[in-house]
């Protein structure tokens, strides 16, 4: 096939913040887009027309990789790689620190990470946990890319460095090809690889180092493009570039190899459209269909089809006529008979082996039947326990209903008690007021009693003085007999009064 052109991108979802990175998982067909501030990740099927983003707490996200449909890896700004369960992104776990680059592998067999010191680590998912182990790579690694069945690592070296091609997913087995990059690529820190092409570049620059692979050999060439590069994606037959001015351009082998004194002319161009300029690119290939995903600086995620047309088939070549075959000789017949006998012996041995395997399979079948019987018994036990649990649940529901009724009754009684308490408080307040009034009256009565006692005492003193004065007068005027009679009368009067 030869690439024809790019269709116009169509918006799929809105992340609400600028896209920082992307990755995809080929098995289940999932794409992931990541934002940095606020940190969000959106994982959606490649055929989806919409999607939602999940918030990631406490992470200033920079790069993402999908290990499975349930687990993603996210590298933050400080270089820490986190394991993120997609079903519960708040339960993030730290995996490793001081990482400069996270290389996502579309096959999901694990991924690679490059440390600040240029060391390579392999990150893989096992038994629900993500483990890390060092990979012995000579030299200091600057950048890389992990693809399906191939790994590209850019190591520091003379001139622009050395690009190494590692077959498979285990770089420690050694590279199958090495290529020295031109000195102009010394500052390039981004790598994108495919089956035929691998490109090395730097965001914001206009230079692109294209490495073409042919078996165990590889050749690098530096080309100049028409504008500043935002990101690059590689398909099986072409290189797609997103420019900072919002333009998308597609280059095939002929366009990249065409001689020119200025920037290379693309085969196809299209405008990104939507909100924001393109920031990250991602190519997915499913069931023969190739799609380009674009994440913009305003948070929009768009998808464009990469249209490919098949080359015209070559006319069939005329086959030479087969020579006439004569009858076989006796020697040939004897050799054929011996070969048939040999094949019969081999088939007999195979038949014996098949019988042995069949016996083993029968034994395994009996074991499977026994295990199935045990599982059925366990299933019956589980069903019985489930029935008991259902009965317990019904009993608990009834008790809960009674408790709710008791709670309602208690609430009503509590309301009545609160009303009575309010009434008692009011009566107590009135009694306190009455007690104060009584105390005041009591105090006034005590004052009056004291005044009466004082007045009574004064009257007694006045009476004593008066009686004393009267006695003296009577004694001077009346004779003794009369005075005695008067005293007698006075005593009678006093006794009467008493």
Q: What is the full DSSP assignment across 312-354? A: PPPPPPPPPPPPPPPPPPHHHHHHHHHHHHHHHHHHHHHHHHH
Range with the largest mean pLDDT of 53-57, 161-165, 211-215: 161-165
* CA-closest candidate to residue 39, choices 63, 65, 67, 13: 63
3-class secondary structure, 374:
helix
Residue 491 has pLDDT above 70, yes or no: yes
CB 123, CB 111: distance < 8 Å: yes
> For 2-309, CATH number?
2.130.10.10
pLDDT tens profile 80-96: 999 999 888 888 899 99
Q: For residue 312, what pLDDT band results from cuts at 50, 70 and 90?
A: very low
CB 92, CB 82: distance < 8 Å: yes
Quick one: pLDDT at residue 24? 92
Tell me the sheet residues that pair with 74. 64, 82
CB 222, CB 208: distance < 8 Å: yes
Residue 327 has pLDDT above 70, yes or no: no
pLDDT tens profile 233-272: 998 888 999 999 999 999 988 888 888 888 999 999 999 8
Mean pLDDT computed over 314-320: 45
Quick one: pLDDT at residue 232? 96
Cis peptide before 38 (omega within 30 of 0): yes
Chain centroid, CA 311 distance in Å: 45
CB 93, CB 82: distance < 8 Å: yes
Q: How far is CA 136 from CA 165, 167, 174, 232, in A?
A: 15, 15, 10, 29
Residue 1 has pLDDT above 80, yes or no: no
pLDDT tens profile 4-61: 688 999 999 999 899 999 999 998 999 999 998 889 999 999 888 888 888 887 788 8
Greater pLDDT, 384 or 480? 384
Over pLDDT 70: what percentage of the chain?
89
Q: For residue 230, what pLDDT band results from cuts at 50, 70 and 90?
A: very high
Chain centroid, CA 108 distance in Å: 18
Chain centroid, CA 320 distance in Å: 66
3-class secondary structure, 309:
strand
Locate tokens 């995903």: which residue? 293
Residue 178 has pLDDT above 50, yes or no: yes
* CA-closest candidate to residue 209, choices 143, 282, 138: 143
Cβ neighbours of residue 146 closer than 8 Å, sequence gap 6 or more: 103, 104, 105, 111, 112, 152, 169
Locate tokens 């690592």: which residue? 153
Give the span between the Cα atoms of 363 and 357, in whole angstroms. Answer: 10
Q: For residue 329, what pLDDT band results from cuts at 50, 70 and 90?
A: low
Q: b vs e for 323-349, b when ≥16 Cβ sit within 10 Å of the residue's Cβ?
A: eeeeeeeeeeeeeeeeeeeeeeeeeee
Residue 305 has pLDDT above 60, yes or no: yes
- 214 backbone dihedrals φ, ψ, rounded to 5°: -140, 90
Q: For residue 323, what pLDDT band results from cuts at 50, 70 and 90?
A: very low
Q: For residue 350, what pLDDT band results from cuts at 50, 70 and 90?
A: confident
Please give the radius of gyration of the chain, using alpha carbons only, rounded to the nearest integer: 52
Quick one: pLDDT at residue 200? 95
3-class secondary structure, 172:
helix
Give the span between the Cα atoms of 106 and 26, in whole angstroms. Answer: 5
Mean pLDDT computed over 315-322: 44
Q: b vs e for 431-448, b when ≥16 Cβ sit within 10 Å of the residue's Cβ?
A: eeeeeeeeeeeeeeeeee
Residue 265 is given by DSSP the state P
> How many other C-beta atoms lie within 10 A of the C-beta of residue 378?
10
- 186 backbone dihedrals φ, ψ, rounded to 5°: -65, -30
Quick one: pLDDT at residue 489? 77
* CA-closest candidate to residue 285, choices 421, 106, 48, 82: 106
- 477 backbone dihedrals φ, ψ, rounded to 5°: -105, -45
Q: For residue 309, what pLDDT band results from cuts at 50, 70 and 90?
A: low
Greater pLDDT, 218 or 473? 218
- Segments making up each domain of the chain, as ranges: 2-309, 343-463
Tell me the pTM: 0.62
Quick one: pLDDT at residue 480? 66
What would the two tokens of residue 400 be? Answer: 């809960």
Chain centroid, CA 232 distance in Å: 27
* Average predicted confidence (pLDDT) for the chain: 86
Locate tokens 């086959």: which residue? 319
In terms of DSSP H, where are the helices of 65-223? none
Residue 169 has pLDDT above 50, yes or no: yes
Maximum separation of any 2 CA atoms in the chain, in Å: 207
pLDDT tens profile 402-429: 999 999 999 999 999 999 999 999 999 9
User: Helix count (H) and strand count (E) of the chain?
Assistant: 3, 29
Quick one: pLDDT at residue 108? 84
Quick one: pLDDT at residue 308? 72
Residue 150 has pLDDT above 60, yes or no: yes
Q: For residue 97, what pLDDT band results from cuts at 50, 70 and 90?
A: very high
What would the two tokens of residue 93 be? Answer: 């776990």
Quick one: pLDDT at residue 319? 42
Quick one: pLDDT at residue 188? 95
What would the two tokens of residue 420 be? Answer: 């009575």
Tell me the sheet residues that pair with 30. 25, 45
């Amino acid at each position: 096939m030869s690439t024809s052109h790019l269709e116009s991108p169509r918006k799929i979802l809105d992340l609400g913040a600028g896209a920082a990175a992307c990755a995809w998982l080929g098995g289940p067909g999932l794409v992931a887009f990541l934002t940095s501030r606020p940190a969000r990740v959106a994982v959606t099927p490649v055929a989806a027309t919409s999607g939602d983003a999940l918030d990631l707490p406490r992470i200033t996200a920079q790069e993402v990789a999908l290990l499975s449909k349930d687990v993603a890896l996210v590298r933050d700004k400080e270089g820490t790689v986190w394991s993120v369960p997609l079903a519960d992104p708040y339960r993030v776990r730290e995996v490793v620190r001081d990482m400069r680059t996270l290389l996502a592998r579309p096959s999901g067999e694990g991924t690679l990470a490059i440390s600040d010191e240029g060391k390579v680590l392999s990150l893989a998912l096992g038994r629900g946990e993500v483990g890390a182990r060092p990979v012995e790579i000579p030299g200091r690694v600057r950048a890389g890319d992990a693809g399906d069945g191939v790994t590209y690592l850019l190591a520091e070296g003379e001139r622009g460095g050395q690009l190494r091609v590692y077959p498979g997913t285990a770089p420690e087995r050694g590279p199958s090809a090495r290529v020295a990059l031109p000195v102009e690529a010394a500052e390039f820190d981004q790598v994108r690889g495919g089956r035929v092409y691998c490109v090395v570049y730097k965001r914001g620059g206009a230079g692109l180092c294209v490495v073409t692979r042919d078996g165990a050999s590889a050749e690098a060439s530096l080309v100049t493009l028409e504008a500043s590069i935002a990101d690059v994606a590689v398909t099986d037959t072409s290189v797609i570039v997103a420019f900072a001015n919002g333009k998308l351009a597609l280059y095939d082998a002929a366009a990249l190899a065409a001689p020119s004194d200025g920037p290379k002319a693309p085969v196809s161009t299209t405008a990104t459209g939507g909100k924001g300029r393109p920031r990250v690119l991602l190519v997915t290939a499913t069931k023969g269909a190739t799609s380009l995903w674009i994440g913009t600086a305003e948070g929009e995620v768009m998808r464009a089809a990469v249209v490919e047309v098949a080359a015209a088939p070559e006319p069939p070549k005329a086959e030479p006529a087969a020579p006439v075959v004569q009858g076989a000789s006796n020697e040939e017949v004897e050799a054929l008979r011996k070969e048939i006998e040999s094949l019969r012996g081999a088939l007999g041995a195979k038949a014996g082996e098949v019988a042995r395997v069949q016996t083993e399979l029968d034994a395994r079948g009996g074991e499977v039947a026994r295990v199935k019987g045990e599982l059925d018994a366990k299933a019956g036990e589980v069903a019985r326990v489930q029935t008991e649990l259902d009965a317990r649940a019904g009993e608990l529901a009834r008790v809960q209903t009674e408790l709710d009724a008791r709670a309602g009754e208690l609430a009503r009684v509590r309301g009545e008690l609160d009303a009575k308490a309010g009434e008692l408080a009011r009566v107590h307040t009135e009694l306190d007021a009455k007690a104060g009034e009584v105390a005041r009256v009591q105090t006034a009565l005590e004052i009056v009693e004291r005044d009466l006692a004082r007045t009574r005492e004064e009257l007694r003193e006045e009476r004593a003085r008066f009686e004393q004065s009267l006695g003296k007068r009577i004694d001077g005027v009346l004779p003794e007999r009369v005075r005695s009679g008067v005293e007698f009368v006075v005593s009678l009067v006093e006794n009467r009064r008493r």
